[in-house]
């Protein structure tokens, strides 16, 4: 379906929210979503909805973020379709009851079992930077788990939010999945409802608002937040590989990636070669410059453009590469900045844009100390060096996930759970982890009546019974 399908952004009427939520809750209580066949049908319909609307999604991602067509297919359309294929292939296996492991014969008579039960009616709140994947990814997990879902896409990517609403309303059971579009007032109204789980992707600041609100009703949350992701390049690294791979980590979506490296710590000796290789790779990737390339995204809006520009205005570092920008197009070149220390504004705040700060370090030990002082629990970590060096870094700096010899490749493996740790988030999803995050593992035993004489030792009076245990 073509771009003509993209409707102007329209927020959902706040008065309609309670009815929408109650409808989804009633569907859940009616047991509609529990059978495997129902879940598979909804997931397959979603697959075809995404497939049929692929052109509209390409256009909406272009409108929202200037996202290159290749990136929209790779990280949005095909990403979600592949996730659905993987989930539908495995769902029956995941839904099966599990027998309790390693139990004594006497306990096995009670048939101790873990049932996989859907949590109920859940709220998914998405971020703007991957406007398809970050909204529909958790929805895939929720449907697979047998939940009903209300999705609140990011209003910062409004064109895609409208296409997603169309897909959901045309392809899915409206009593099972609903989309509420809007910003803070609509999200606040949604948060005033009682949910069985809230799945939130976005900034740590808003994540704190969500977590506090959820705590009032003891609602469980998954929080997928950002982080000040460190990258390490030791003297034993391959400067060409490190440059190409970390550059890719910044150029994708013009650096608007939660896992993107926020700063790169480079050992002194290898710095000139690394910078040289960055220049070579940039020329190779964008022979006619980034501004003239179809393969480079734009900053999502003026507010974010100004936010990133302010960081560049305030840095005490020296621009080594790039620096060109054009506010009229929200265009910002990849800009490599050599910073003096880890207190620089481009290091201590999440950039979420195409700035690449480089910090020179004397040793791996000092790089590790710096990483742990900037942010003790980043979302991602990227280390280039010898095996012993990268192992040391992995051991001594924690993070939600890590890619050795690469930028955030771990985030693209469909069977690897994706999530943060500490301040970069809690909980995880993708593939089986998406099913698990919306599933309650319910332990159940059934005690046969005939066992009474075997278990009556538990009843008082206890006198003399310890000896029989």
* Residue among 42, 60, 88, 129 that touches ligand NAD (CB under 6 A): 129
Q: Is 221 in the site for ligand NAD (CB under 6 A)?
A: no
Return the number of the residue (11 or 404) whose C-beta is nearest ligand NAD.
11
* Residue among 118, 120, 226, 354 that touches ligand NAD (CB under 6 A): 226
Q: Which of 224, 261, 333, 342 is catalytic?
A: 224
> How many other β-carbons are positioned within 10 Å of the β-carbon of residue 292?
9
Cα–Cα distance, 457 to 195 (Å, whole number): 42
Smallest distance, ligand NAD to C-beta of residue 56, A: 20
> How many other β-carbons are positioned within 10 Å of the β-carbon of residue 43?
20
Residues near 303 by beta carbon (within 8 Å), at least 6 away in sequence = none
Q: Is 378 in the site for ligand NAD (CB under 6 A)?
A: no
* Residue 40: strand, helix, or coil: helix
Q: Is 396 in the site for ligand NAD (CB under 6 A)?
A: no
* Residue 322: strand, helix, or coil: coil
Smallest distance, ligand NAD to C-beta of residue 98, A: 28
* Residue among 49, 68, 118, 126 that touches ligand NAD (CB under 6 A): 126
Cα–Cα distance, 159 to 10 (Å, whole number): 10
Cα–Cα distance, 204 to 98 (Å, whole number): 36
Sole residue written with tokens 């989309």: 179
Going 276 to 278 to 281 to 286, the CA torsion angle's sign is: negative
> Among residue numbers 309 through 368, which ones bind ligand NAD (CB under 6 A)?
350, 352
Whether 350 is catalytic: no
Smallest distance, ligand NAD to C-beta of residue 257, A: 7
Query: What are the distances in angstroms from CA 68 to CA 38, 50, 128, 229, 254?
Result: 35, 18, 15, 24, 10
Cα–Cα distance, 135 to 60 (Å, whole number): 14
> How many other β-carbons are positioned within 10 Å of the β-carbon of residue 65?
27
Cα–Cα distance, 262 to 240 (Å, whole number): 19
Return the number of the residue (225 or 297) whose C-beta is nearest ligand NAD.
225
> Among residue numbers 50 through 109, which ones bind ligand NAD (CB under 6 A)?
none
* Residue among 21, 65, 125, 325 that touches ligand NAD (CB under 6 A): 125
- φ and ψ at 9, to 5 degrees? -65, 135
Going 204 to 208 to 209 to 210, the CA torsion angle's sign is: positive
Smallest distance, ligand NAD to C-beta of residue 379, A: 6
Q: Is 145 in the site for ligand NAD (CB under 6 A)?
A: no
* CA dihedral angle for residue 143, residue 147, residue 57, residue 257, rounded to 10 degrees: -100
Buried b (16+ CB within 10 A) or exposed e, 456-466: eeeeeeeeeee
Q: Is 202 in the site for ligand NAD (CB under 6 A)?
A: yes
Choose the binding region for ligand NAD from 57-65, 150-158, 246-254, 306-314 (rule: CB under 6 A). Answer: 150-158
CB distance 394 to 371 below 8 Å: no
For ligand NAD, what does the binding mask look like between residues 161 and 200, x meaning CB under 6 A?
----------------------xx--xx------------
* Residue among 100, 206, 280, 321 that touches ligand NAD (CB under 6 A): 206
Return the number of the residue (126 or 385) whose C-beta is nearest ligand NAD.
126
Q: Which of 258, 261, 267, 389 is catalytic?
A: 258
> Among residue numbers 419 through 438, which ones bind ligand NAD (CB under 6 A)?
420, 425
Query: What are the distances in angstroms from CA 14 to CA 17, 20, 126?
Result: 5, 10, 18
Return the number of the residue (118 or 400) whose C-beta is nearest ligand NAD.
400
Whether 224 is catalytic: yes
Q: Which residue is nearest to ligand NAD (CB)?
A: 226
Provide the annotated active-site residues.
224, 258
Footprint of ligand NAD (CB under 6 A): 125-129, 134, 152, 154-156, 183-184, 187-188, 201-203, 206, 209, 224-226, 258, 350, 352, 379, 420, 425
């Amino acid at each position: 379906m073509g771009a003509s399908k993209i409707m102007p952004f329209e927020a959902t009427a706040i008065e309609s929210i309670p009815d929408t939520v109650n409808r989804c809750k009633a569907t859940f209580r009616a047991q509609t979503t529990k059978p495997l066949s129902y879940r598979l049908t909804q997931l397959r319909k979603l697959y075809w909805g995404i497939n049929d609307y692929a052109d509209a999604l390409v256009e909406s991602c272009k409108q929202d973020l200037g996202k290159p067509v290749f990136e929209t297919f790779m990280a949005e359309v095909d990403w979600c379709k592949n996730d659905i294929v993987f989930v539908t292939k495995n769902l029956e296996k995941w839904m099966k009851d599990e027998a309790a492991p390693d139990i004594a014969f006497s306990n096995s008579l009670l048939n101790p079992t873990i049932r996989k039960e859907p949590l109920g009616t859940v709220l998914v709140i998405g971020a703007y930077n991957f406007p398809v994947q970050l909204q529909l990814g958790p929805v895939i997990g929720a449907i697979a788990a047998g939940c009903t879902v209300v999705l609140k896409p990011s209003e910062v990517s409004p064109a895609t939010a409208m296409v997603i609403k169309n897909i959901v309303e045309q392809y899915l059971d409206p009593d099972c999945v609903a989309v509420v579009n809007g910003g803070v007032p609509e999200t606040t109204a949604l948060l005033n409802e009682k949910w069985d789980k809230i799945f939130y992707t976005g900034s740590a600041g808003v994540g704190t608002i969500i977590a506090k609100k959820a705590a009032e009703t003891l609602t469980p949350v998954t929080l997928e937040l950002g982080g000040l992701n460190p990258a390490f390049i030791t003297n034993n690294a391959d400067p060409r590989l490190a440059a190409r791979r970390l550059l890719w980590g910044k150029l994708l979506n013009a650096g608007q990636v939660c896992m993107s490296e926020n700063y790169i710590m480079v050992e002194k000796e290898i710095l000139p070669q690394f910078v040289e290789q960055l220049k070579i790779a940039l020329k190779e990737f964008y022979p006619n410059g980034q501004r003239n390339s179809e393969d480079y995204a734009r900053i999502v809006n003026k507010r974010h453009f100004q936010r990133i520009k302010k960081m560049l205005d305030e840095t005490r570092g020296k621009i080594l590469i790039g620096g060109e920008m054009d506010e009229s197009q929200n265009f910002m070149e990849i800009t490599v900045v050599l910073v003096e220390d880890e207190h620089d504004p481009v290091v201590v705040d999440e950039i979420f844009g195409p700035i690449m700060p480089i910090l020179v370090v004397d040793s791996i030990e000092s790089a590790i100390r710096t990483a742990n002082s900037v942010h003790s629990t980043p979302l991602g970590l990227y280390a280039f060096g010898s095996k012993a060096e990268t192992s040391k870094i992995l051991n001594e700096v924690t993070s939600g996930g890590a890619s050795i010899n690469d930028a955030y490749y771990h985030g693209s493996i469909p069977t690897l759970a994706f999530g943060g740790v500490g301040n970069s988030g809690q909980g995880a999803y993708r593939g089986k982890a998406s099913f698990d995050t919306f599933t309650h593992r319910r332990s159940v035993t059934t005690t046969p009546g005939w066992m009474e004489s075997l278990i009556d030792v538990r009843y008082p009076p206890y006198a003399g019974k310890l000896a029989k245990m």
